[in-house]
């Protein structure tokens, strides 16, 4: 298919199909670098610390956390929403960009989708441990109980259960269906041995038959088609955890799409954090080019702007609504004891993201890397501001209190970061980080695009 | 599918492979299969493959899931154990919508994935051996039916004399590979 | 390759006839039926908003495609460009609302004694209302005009600086539009029910605008194709237009449901007061709104084959366009005209009147210059496009 000559190439260097297989499979076949060992040492330690804190919570009880009667939800649900949000970028890249035919997704969708799965796992830990009696987790699933009662289908918390279970299942299926042909490539590259047997098993006897490819393509597009509304619905349902209440600052009709935009925003930031490092350490700069980084930055500025618009709408409505509690809530956020959290949020989410209008910054990897971390910090604070700052000043002034987090809670956040990065580091050693067959399918067009240098804008 | 004799024609690029495919179908040779490292557009058309019905299956099962879960929730909250929660009516239809939507997606997605695996006969098998390990790397392969001895490697070589495939050989294919 | 739309005498006469007939019908109804002033002014506002929405939605369509460097739409880009021509006319029509402010907006009535509305006086007062209106329109008209000028240059010049300029302008327009589409909807539509508020409202109106614009683009494409123009428009482009209509109708339903669910669930009287008259007095229209705007595009366009057939897609687009007119009716009428709201001859004739004017303006723009942007860097890509 013809491509306008002003488009930049998505693959650099003159490559053959074999080059693509070899370069992408190299990390699975070769020994890991020192940087990988260092990475897994750090993330592994964080993970173990976190798991210890989780065990301590389950053993000793929720009293080990800093929640009190006024601030009943704090760090844990903030981090839960934060992780679910991060997961959304993977599905956005895999599904929505596929439907919009954005070819630059081909080299980043595999790792983004894996990131989604790990993020959802990290998120799902929180409902489990914050139940007080985690062994009774099965209560949240609708099964015929001996007491005759059913789950409260009216509750957004139950909607969460349905949404996150579905999201995890579909993400896993989508990821694995896409992975099968690449596992077959890996299987065929390896010579005899245990590894080969394992990959042979995991490849589901994939043989590259045209009929199978046809079904594979159709299934992928259909999974993308249903995963797209899933991206919207999951984080909307998570937002209804707050929006379905009647608390000022929480009860706001804009929450569903606003949370979804914020989720994609933080998710893309995390993808950038991971891939800027991975492309360097794994030698994949020819596949994840500056063009890819710039495209992801454009999504960042789009979603960041939508989040900013939502802030404007919320701020305006606090005044316009005439509800004195809404007004008080906003004033508290801006000028109250937690104003530092609010202004960190504005600085990290609104101001910093708008810097990406400048092309020089959009194409600068160092800037993008630091910005992506800043954005994720900002997005964590956004949920903190929405949750803790709304709760801590109750309707009764005698209930007003401050929230004091404990070391256990900090440990949980560090722990989930540890789990996430450990899982990702293990992933890059066991499965191809880039979708091999999808990159091969665009090789011809992109190699042709490389020779259009003189026609392009820059 | 036990031992069959095929003629296997190898190409190192998809363009000559497609040309060869067109030529062979014109000459009425029976193509058993085409195997490639990535999906090549146009192959389904040349081979006259029918479009898969997986999406239809997914759609129907999705709707089935939607109806099932909506009816189930309504039954729970209206018939089995009616509860007034937060002043909502027993039949709280707007509340049921999020769950209905999620189950629709779940049923549709899982059914399509399984339909795909079952229809393509893909299952984990440690005894699996592919026809050629280069297919998943960079080789594009056409499998032509021997047709009871009428078609030979020589004949194919002649038909494709100007397209020049990398290799043509007669092969015994075992174990579905 | 070149195509010129000829705005024939036949078209002009038909449109003149529609405008004259509907104007006559409206005048007869006003003189004979004596509808309330609120209802008349609400009709003017409704159609102003509906057709302005189509124009702004078209501008958004162009801007978002330019900034994302999309190429497929290049073959039809003149259509939404022509639709933006209505924006200056909408400006004049909105200024005319000044004379009917008291009939539509209860806060504009000098005698009102509502503490809630008094609290909003800083925002809801007539001078500030019109200053904002001028600012919104100034930005829209200027930005769209400059974007248009750069696009026109690409009819003859291959200098890529015009493409770069219009990309930059697309970005500026999107930022300005993002803020003003919300703010204008708060001003012009949400303040009708002055005691009510909903943070998602601006985004809900935006998506109605966009889907209406998509429907109109499809109908326009169908009309031109059936008259022998747009020979370069193929099945693949139609497929993509249909995908957009399909997906954004679903997105509209999602935003509608977000607003409805949260207000239903919270059950707060100050919020549910908005839906009570709409649900109870206008049950059928309310149901039609959700049903038509969601179910028709969904089931009508879910199959791949249906998306490629321009005739079928045009039918769905037509139904959806009417559906979104009903959507605007529900937003504006019950609050503005209260008891006297209905869908009668006055509504139909006013809408036909506006349609005639709108189509006239679009056709005039289309006939100025080629239908193909000849030196557009993405033209070749669009011609070769495979969906």
Domain ranges of chain B: 6-51+130-171, 54-119
Q: Which of A313-317, B159-163, C18-22, C316-320 has the lowest mean pLDDT?
A: B159-163
pLDDT band at B175 (very low <50, low <70, confident <90, very high): very low
Instruction: Give the pLDDT band of residue A12 (cuts 50, 70, 90).
Output: confident
Per CATH, which fold does B6-51+130-171 belong to?
Alpha-Beta Plaits (3.30.70)
Q: How confident is the model at residue A394 (pLDDT cuts 50, 70, 90)?
A: confident
Contact yes or no for C316/C297 (Cβ under 8 A): yes
Q: What is the pLDDT of residue B3?
A: 47
**Please, what is the average pLDDT of chain B?**
88
B45 inside 8 A of chain A by CB: no
Q: Whole-angstrom Cα distance, residue B143 to residue B136?
A: 15
Q: B105: which chain A residues are within 8 Å (Cβ-Cβ)?
A: 166, 170, 226-227, 229-230, 233
* The model's pTM: 0.94
A222–chain C Cβ distance below 8 A for any pair: no
- For the cut 60, the answer to whether the pLDDT of residue B1 exceeds it is no
pLDDT tens digits along A155-183? 999 999 999 999 999 999 999 999 999 99
**Residue A143 — φ and ψ, nearest 5°?**
-130, 155
pLDDT at B176 over 60: no
CA distance linking residue A92 with residue A95, whole number of Å: 5
- Residue ranges of domains in chain A: 51-143+150-446
Cα of A439 to nearest chain C Cα, Å? 19
**Cα(A321)–Cα(A194) distance, rounded to whole angstroms?**
66
Model pLDDT, residue B97? 95
Whether B76 and A150 lie within 8 Å, measured CB to CB: yes
The answer, yes or no, to whether residue A458 has pLDDT greater than 50, is: no
Q: Which residues of B touch C302 (CB under 8 A)?
A: 59
Q: What is the mean pLDDT of residues A240-252?
A: 93
Which residue out of B88, B99, B127, B135 would a mutagenesis test of the A interface target, given it has the greatest number of A Cβ atoms within 10 Å? B99
CB contacts < 8 A (A, C): 111
Q: pLDDT for A295-341, tens place per residue?
A: 999 999 999 999 999 999 999 999 999 889 999 999 999 999 999 99
When CB atoms are compared, the residue of A233, A244, A312 closest to C179 is: A312
Does A457 score more than 60 pLDDT? Answer: no
Residue C71 has a pLDDT of 84
Report CB contact under 8 Å: A173, B81. no
Per-residue pLDDT tens digits for C189-229: 999 999 999 999 999 999 999 999 999 999 999 999 999 88
The predicted pLDDT at position B166 comes to: 83
Q: What is the pLDDT of residue A426?
A: 95
Contact between residue C297 and residue C246 where contact means Cβ atoms under 8 Å apart? yes
Helix, strand or coil, per DSSP, at residue C95: helix
> Is the model's pLDDT at C373 over the cut of 90?
no
Report the percent of chain C where pLDDT is more than 90: 70
Question: Token pair of C286, please?
Answer: 């309310």
CB C311 within 8 A of CB C222: yes
What local confidence, expressed as pLDDT, does residue A28 receive?
86
List, in sequence order, every residue forming a beta bridge with B9; answer none if it has no partner.
Answer: B142, B168
Structure confidence at residue B172 (pLDDT): 63
The pLDDT > 90 percentage for chain A reads: 79
Q: How many C-beta atoms lie closer than 10 Å to residue C122's C-beta?
A: 9
Count how many residues are written for chain B. 177
User: Between the ranges A13-17, A27-31, A173-177, where is the mean pLDDT highest?
Assistant: A173-177
Tell me the β-bridge partners of B144: B7, B31
Could you tell me which chain B residue has the CA closest to the CA of A245?
Answer: B86
B141 three-class SS: strand
Q: What is the pLDDT of residues C98-149, one digit of tens each?
A: 999 999 998 998 888 888 888 888 999 999 999 999 999 999 999 999 998 8
Instruction: Read off the pLDDT of each residue in A207-226 and give the average, rounded to a whole number.
Output: 93
Distance from CA of A277 to the nearest CA of B (A): 27
CA distance A75 to A405: 8
Q: What is the rounded average pLDDT of the residues A261-277?
A: 95
Task: Please tell me the predicted confidence (pLDDT) of residue A14.
Answer: 85
Enumerate the β-bridge partners of residue B4.
B173
CB-nearest partner of B44 from A21, A210, A219:
A210
Contact A393, A400 (CB under 8 A): yes
Q: At what angle do helices A210-243 and A156-189 cross, to 10 degrees?
A: 150
Q: Which residue, among A254, A262, A309, would best test binding to C if mutated, counting the most C CBs under 10 Å from its CB?
A: A254
pLDDT per position as a tens digit, C69-109: 888 888 899 999 999 999 999 999 999 999 999 999 989 98
pLDDT at residue B2, as a whole number:
36
Q: Residue A454's pLDDT band (boundaries 50, 70, 90)?
A: low
Indicate the pLDDT class of residue A374, thresholds 50, 70 and 90: very high
Residue B30 gets the label, from left (phi > 0), alpha (psi -120 to 50) or beta, of: beta
Q: Do A244 and C262 touch (CB under 8 A)?
A: yes
CA distance A64 to A406: 7
Dihedral Cα C250, C253, C258, C260, nearest 10 deg: -170
pLDDT at residue A1 greater than cutoff 90: no
Residues of A in contact with B116 (CB under 8 A): 177, 215-216, 219
Please give the CATH number for the structural domain made up of A51-143+150-446.
1.20.1630.10
Residue C380: band (very low, low, confident or very high) from pLDDT cuts 50, 70, 90: confident
In chain B, the residue whose alpha carbon lies closest to the alpha carbon of A212 is B120
* Residue C142 CA, distance from chain mean position: 19
């Amino acid at each position: 298919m013809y491509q306008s000559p002003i488009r930049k190439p998505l693959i650099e260097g003159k490559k053959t199909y074999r080059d693509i297989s070899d370069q992408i499979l190299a990390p699975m076949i070769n020994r890991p670098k020192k940087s990988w060992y260092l990475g897994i040492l750090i993330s592994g330690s964080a993970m173990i610390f976190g798991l210890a804190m989780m065990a301590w919570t389950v053993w000793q009880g929720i009293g080990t956390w800093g929640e009190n009667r006024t601030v009943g939800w704090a760090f844990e649900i903030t981090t839960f929403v934060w992780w679910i949000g991060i997961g959304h970028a993977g599905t956005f890249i895999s599904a929505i960009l596929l439907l919009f035919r954005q070819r630059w997704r081909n080299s980043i969708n595999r790792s983004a989708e894996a990131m989604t799965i790990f993020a959802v796992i990290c998120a799902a830990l929180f409902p489990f441990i914050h139940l007080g009696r985690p062994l009774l987790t099965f209560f949240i699933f609708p099964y015929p109980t001996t007491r005759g009662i059913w789950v409260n289908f009216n509750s957004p918390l139950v909607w969460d259960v349905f949404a996150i279970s579905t999201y995890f299942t579909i993400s896993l299926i989508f990821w694995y269906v896409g992975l099968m042909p690449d596992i077959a490539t890996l299987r065929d590259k390896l010579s005899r041995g245990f590894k080969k047997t394992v990959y042979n098993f995991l490849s589901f006897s994939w043989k590259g038959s045209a009929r199978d490819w046809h079904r594979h393509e159709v299934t992928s597009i259909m999974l993308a088609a249903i995963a797209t509304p899933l991206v919207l619905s999951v984080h909307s349902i998570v937002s209804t955890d707050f929006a379905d209440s009647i608390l000022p600052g929480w009860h706001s009709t804009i929450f569903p799409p606003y949370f979804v935009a914020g989720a994609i925003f933080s998710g893309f930031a995390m993808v950038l954090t991971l891939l800027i490092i991975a492309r360097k350490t794994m030698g994949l700069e020819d596949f994840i080019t500056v063009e890819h980084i710039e495209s992801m930055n454009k999504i960042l500025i789009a979603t960041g702007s939508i989040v900013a618009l939502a802030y404007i709408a919320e701020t305006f409505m606090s005044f316009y609504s005439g509800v004195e509690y809404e007004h008080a809530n906003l004033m508290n956020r801006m000028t109250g004891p937690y104003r530092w959290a609010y202004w960190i949020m504005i600085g990290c989410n609104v101001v910093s993201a708008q810097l990406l209008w400048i092309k020089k910054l959009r194409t600068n990897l160092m800037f993008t890397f630091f910005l992506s971390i800043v954005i994720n910090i900002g997005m964590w604070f956004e949920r903190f501001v929405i949750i803790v700052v709304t709760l801590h000043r109750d309707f009764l002034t005698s209930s007003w209190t401050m929230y004091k987090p404990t070391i256990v809670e900090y440990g949980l956040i560090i722990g989930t970061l540890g789990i996430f990065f450990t899982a990702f580091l293990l992933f890059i050693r066991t499965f191809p980080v880039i979708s091999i067959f999808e990159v091969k399918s665009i090789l011809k067009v992109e190699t042709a695009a490389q020779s259009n240098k003189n026609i392009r804008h820059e | 599918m036990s031992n069959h004799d095929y003629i296997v024609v190898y190409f190192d690029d998809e363009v000559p492979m497609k040309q060869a495919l067109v030529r062979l179908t014109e000459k009425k040779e029976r193509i058993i299969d085409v195997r490639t490292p990535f999906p090549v557009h146009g192959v389904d058309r040349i081979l006259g493959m029918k479009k898969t019905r997986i999406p239809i299956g997914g759609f129907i099962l999705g709707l089935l899931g939607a109806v099932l879960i909506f009816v189930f929730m309504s039954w729970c909250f209206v018939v089995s154990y009616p509860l007034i929660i937060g002043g909502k009516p027993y039949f709280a239809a707007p509340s049921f919508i999020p769950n209905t939507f999620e189950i629709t997606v779940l049923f549709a997605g899982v059914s399509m994935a399984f339909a795909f695996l079952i229809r393509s006969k893909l299952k984990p098998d440690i005894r699996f051996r592919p026809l050629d390990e280069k297919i998943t790397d960079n080789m594009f392969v056409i499998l032509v039916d021997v047709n009871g001895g009428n078609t030979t490697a020589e004949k194919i070589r002649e038909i494709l004399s100007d397209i020049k495939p990398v290799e043509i050989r007669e092969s015994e294919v075992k174990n579905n590979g | 390759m070149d195509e010129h739309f000829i705005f024939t005498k036949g078209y002009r006469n038909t449109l003149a006839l529609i405008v004259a007939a509907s104007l006559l019908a409206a005048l007869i109804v006003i003189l004979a039926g004596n509808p309330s002033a609120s209802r008349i002014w609400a009709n003017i506002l409704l159609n102003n908003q509906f057709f302005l929405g189509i124009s702004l939605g078209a501008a958004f369509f162009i801007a978002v495609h330019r900034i994302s460097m999309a190429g497929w739409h290049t073959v039809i880009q003149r259509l939404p460009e022509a639709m933006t021509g209505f924006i200056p006319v909408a400006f004049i029509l909105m200024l005319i609302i000044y004379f009917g402010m008291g009939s539509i907006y209860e806060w504009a009535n000098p005698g009102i004694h509502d503490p809630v509305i008094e609290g909003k006086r800083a925002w809801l007062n007539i001078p500030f209302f019109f200053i904002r209106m001028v600012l919104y329109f100034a930005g829209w008209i200027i930005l769209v005009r400059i974007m248009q000028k750069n696009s026109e240059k690409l009819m003859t010049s291959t200098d890529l600086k015009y493409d770069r300029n219009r990309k930059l302008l697309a970005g500026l327009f999107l930022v300005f539009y993002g803020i003003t589409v919300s703010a204008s909807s708060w001003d012009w539509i949400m303040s009708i029910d002055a005691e009510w508020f909903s943070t998602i409202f601006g985004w809900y109106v935006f998506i109605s605008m966009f889907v209406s614009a998509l429907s109109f683009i499809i109908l326009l494409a169908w009309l031109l194709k059936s008259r022998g123009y747009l020979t370069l428009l193929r099945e693949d482009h139609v497929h993509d237009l249909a995908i957009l209509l399909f997906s954004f109708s679903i997105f509209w339903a999602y935003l509608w449901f977000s607003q409805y669910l949260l207000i239903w669930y919270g059950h707060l009287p100050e919020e549910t007061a908005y839906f009570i008259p709409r649900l109870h007095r206008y049950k059928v229209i309310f149901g039609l709104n959700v049903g038509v705007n969601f179910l028709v595009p969904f089931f009508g366009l879910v199959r791949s084959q249906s998306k490629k057939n321009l005739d079928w897609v045009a039918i769905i687009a037509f139904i959806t366009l009417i559906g979104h007119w009903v959507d605007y009716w529900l937003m504006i009428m019950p609050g503005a005209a209260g008891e006297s709201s209905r869908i009668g001859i006055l509504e139909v004739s006013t809408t036909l009147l506006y349609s005639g004017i709108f189509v006239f303006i679009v056709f005039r723009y289309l006939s100025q210059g080629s239908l193909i942007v000849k030196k557009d860097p993405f033209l070749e890509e669009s011609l070769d496009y495979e969906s």
